[in-house]
Amino acid sequence: MQDRMIGDARVTRVEEIAGPGFPAAQFFPEFDAQTFKAQEHWLAPSYYSPESGRLVRSIHSWVIRMNGLTILVDTCCGNHKPRPGMPGFNMLDTDYLDRLRAVGVQPEEVDLVLCTHLHVDHVGWNTKLENGKWVPTFPKAKYVMSRRDHDHWQAAARKPETEEYERNTYNDSVLPIVEVGLAEMVDSEHDLGRGLMINPSPGHTPGHIHITLESKGKRALFSGDALHNPVQVPLWTWNSRFCEDTNVARQSRNKILSHCAHEHALLMPAHFGSPHAAFIKAKGDDFALDWDHGPS
C-alpha cells in the first residue's frame, strides 16, 4: 500500500525502517505463550517471525494531503542521532527524506507536523543536523504536540537518572523546535479544522494523542503507539513494554478500537507491517481485524 484516499484526503505511507524488532515474549508484559501461539497462524510472516520469535515492525510516517495542506503524522527516528543503549536507533543514516521527496513532498512544503507522542522513533526527523546544529527539517511547518507530553519529557531530560537516549531525544529533536517558536502545544481535544481532530489517548506516554480524519463521509484514525502490533487488536488488553501507565493505556486502546469499529474508521498505526492499516470489527467486548473489506 502506498496511497489511500480517505474521501478527498490522500494519505501516503513513508517508511524509514522495516524488519525484525523486539522478541514478542519481551515486548508484551502480559505475554502468555499459549495465547500468543493461537494467533501465530495469521501473524506470520508479516507481523511475527516464528523462527526468531521476534515481532516484525515498520517505522513510518503518514503524509496527509488535503485542501491544499501537507501534513506529516510522526517523523520516525532521524539521522545522525546518538541513541546509546538503543542500537536499532543509534546514529542512523537512512534515505527517509529521499523517500519523502519520491512521493512528491519537499520538506519545505510541509504545513503541519503532528506528533502523537515524543518517543525516540516518532520525533527524530523533526530536526536535522546542519553545520553542527540541530535545525527544523520542515522549516515552514507548525509542530503540534501535547503540552502534557512535552512537559513530561522536558522534565525528564533535566534529570541525570533518565536514560541518555531519552534525554538526547528531547534535546536534539524537540527542544530545537520549541526554541525557534515552531511548536504548538495542545491540551485535551483540539480541532485542527478541515475534518482533522486531535484526541487524547494517554497511557503509552502521559500525553499520547491520536488523530482522527473525516472527509466526504470517510474516516481514518492515526493511532501512534496505542497499538504496536496487530495482535493487540484481538489481544487488546496486552500493553507494550514501553507503556508507562498500563491501565490507562489499556483503556485508551479499547476506546480507539471501539471508535474505529463503530465509526467505520480505518486504523492507521505507526508500526504495523504490510498492509499497514486495517478496519476493525467489534465482537462483543473484543475486536477483530478486517484487512480487506472496510465498511459495508
> Alpha-carbon distance 8 to 286, whole Å?
31
Do 152 and 197 contact (CB within 8 A), yes or no?
no
The domain locations on the chain are: 3-290
Q: What's the pLDDT score for residue 291?
A: 86
> For residue range 25-54, what is the model confidence (pLDDT) as tens digits?
999 999 999 999 999 999 999 999 999 999
How many residues does this entry show for the chain?
296
Residues of the chain with pLDDT under 70: 1, 293-296
Per-residue cell: 139: 522549516
- The whole-angstrom separation of Cα 53 and Cα 98 is 32
**CATH code, 3-290:** 3.60.15.10
Phi and psi at residue 20, to the nearest 5°: -60, 140
- Beta strands 48-49 and 196-200 are unpaired
Whether 71 contacts 112, CB under 8 Å: yes
Grouping H, G, I as helix, E, B as strand and the rest as coil, residue 286 is: strand
What is the end-to-end Cα distance of the chain in Å, rounded?
A: 21
pTM: 0.96
Residue with cell 521476534: 54
For residue 82, what pLDDT is reported? 98
